Amino acid sequence: MSETLNIMNRENLTCFLPMESLTNYCNIKAQNMSKSILTTIIGITALFALQGLWLYRTYILYIGEKGNTVNDLFKVAIDKELSNRVFKYKDPRNPTFTFKYADEMTPEERANLKGDTIDYKKLSDNGTARSFTEALSQLRQEQISQNRPLQINTLDSLFLEELSNHDLNIASCQIIYMDKDTLAIDSTNQYTPTGLGTITTKLTPIGLYSSHYLKATVQVTPTSIMLELLYTLIASFGITLFIIATLYYQLVVITHTQKELKEQETTIHNAIHDLKSPLNGVFVLLDTVKELVKGDTLMENFLQKGKGQVKRMTEMIESILETTRKPGKSLLKLEVTDLIEMVSHIKENADTIFPDKKYTFFINNKLGTNTILTDKIILERCLRNLIENAFKYSDDGVNITVTFSQTKEQICIAVKDTGWGIPKKAQRHIGSPFFQVKIANKPAQPGYGIGLCSVNSQIQKLGGVFHFESEEGKGSIFFLKFPKNRK
């Protein structure tokens, strides 16, 4: 009878833990999938926004570059218009203009000077002339404009010609002639161009003393802009379409995987629910057998332990079903729990699973009490995994110590063993679903690689954390820390 009981206990344990952990795993994966879908949608939106921003900045750079060209061509057109108004001298060898630098003149010549004096530094500071040549040009403007004023329509024609010669297709153009207060005197177009591709030149002074100004506004045709940015646009849309296709494929895969996980989760829930019926049958059967062997103390004890195991499994199944009925909410069933009694029961069960194991087991209670208020089923699942792992991943002669301690706000439970330890390269994977530690020169252990994943998810329901310290060949310490619950 004891053989049958041992087999039953082993099957219950190795069957139940995967069901519990797979449920948690499916829930976690489903939540991650939902986040991935949202991330994909956000990624596509952000991509469009970034592409739009990039195209906008490319357009601004393009307009800035063309703006510099338009400014230069406008000055060229102004110089050409001025050339059309220059006096024709009868004797080119006897020019009307004579130029001398100030340091080349005697004091008497300066005193008797009847011409114009050019203060180049002052002209450069106020933007009238950037070079001595420009200063002379402005002087010519000043003197010639007195007899032959600027012809704004001629300037408009010359400006459009210069723009055309430089392959700038202009939809509309306006030149404004202004007085010294920048009030419009004349213009070539009643309407100022606005909208996409509009470029406005800087105020250009006319005359040495900035008595008049010119400003031009042009609108480059959208077709011209598109042709200039054609290859940029093609590359941009190509990259965008490729990334969108990749993200869409990812979205399809995520949706399909999410559907499969939902189906798996439903199947697991149904399987967990269906476990209750045979367990109830086993419980009734054990009760019946107990009546038949009444008076046999040894058999009654065995049967009572079996009933206790079945009862605990039924409670665990009900707890899982309650959790899955309300996903996302941690439903704690707080009750006064005797920690020493719980660990003793877990150790006794481990004895039936590992009957030939030679070990030393210690309980170190620093709490000052044996009981705490917590969710008994959740805590028992965690401790059962950790203590049975200490038995499983160790040689004969292992020392296992369970220590209970506390801080002002937390309960701390440490399960220490002198077993095989965990290789350093494997430690970062501990707690991942389906990961199993492989240790050189040690026999492979049966399992699913989801025990510690279950511990991690269960302790979080208590608002706690799970961590460990381990060194290969020396052993491990696993810690459970969770807040105190007060009535």
Range of the domain at 272: 250-323
Are 351 and 437 in the same domain?
yes
In a domain, 277, yes or no: yes
Q: What is the pLDDT of residues 2-13, one digit of tens each?
A: 333 332 333 333
pLDDT at position 210 is 61
Burial state string for 187-220 with b = 16 or more CB within 10 A and e = fewer than 16: bbeeeebeeebbbebeebbbbbebebbbbbbbbb
pLDDT at position 222 is 74
Are 303 and 420 in the same domain?
no
Token pair 């511990």 is at which residue?
455
Q: Give the span between the Cα atoms of 313 and 294, in whole angstroms.
A: 25
Are 104 and 155 in the same domain?
yes
In a domain, 134, yes or no: yes
3-state secondary structure of 220: strand
pLDDT at position 90 is 41
pLDDT at position 405 is 95
DSSP characters for 279-312? Answer: HHHHHHHHHHHHHHTTT-HHHHHHHHHHHHHHHH
Burial state string for 282-302 with b = 16 or more CB within 10 A and e = fewer than 16: bbeebeebbeeeeeeeebeeb
Are 310 and 293 in the same domain?
yes
DSSP state at residue 84? T
- CATH code, 387: 3.30.565.10
**pTM: predicted TM-score of the whole model, two decimal places:** 0.47
* Domain boundary residue, one of 323, 344, 363: 323
Q: Nearest to residue 448, comparing CAs of 20, 28, 9?
A: 20
Q: Give the span between the Cα atoms of 177 and 77, in whole angstroms.
A: 14
In a domain, 372, yes or no: yes
Are 459 and 359 in the same domain?
yes
Are 313 and 348 in the same domain?
no
Please give the tally of structural domains in the chain.
Answer: 3
- Strands of the 359-365 sheet, one edge to the other: 359-365, 398-406, 410-417, 475-483, 465-471
Are 210 and 293 in the same domain?
no
In a domain, 444, yes or no: yes
Are 75 and 178 in the same domain?
yes
- Backbone angles phi and psi of 131, in degrees to 5: -150, 170
pLDDT at position 261 is 74
What pLDDT tens digit does each residue of the chain (487 aa) get? 333 333 233 333 333 344 444 455 555 555 565 666 677 677 778 777 877 787 778 778 888 888 899 999 998 898 888 888 775 434 444 555 566 666 777 777 777 766 566 665 666 666 666 666 677 677 777 777 777 788 889 889 999 999 889 888 888 899 998 888 888 888 888 788 888 888 899 888 887 766 788 999 998 887 766 776 677 778 777 887 887 788 788 778 878 887 887 777 777 767 766 766 677 677 777 777 777 777 778 887 777 777 777 776 776 666 566 555 555 555 688 899 999 999 998 998 888 888 889 999 999 999 989 999 999 988 998 999 899 999 989 999 999 999 999 998 999 999 999 999 999 888 888 877 778 888 878 877 777 677 888 888 889 889 999 999 999 989 999 999 999 875 5
In a domain, 342, yes or no: yes
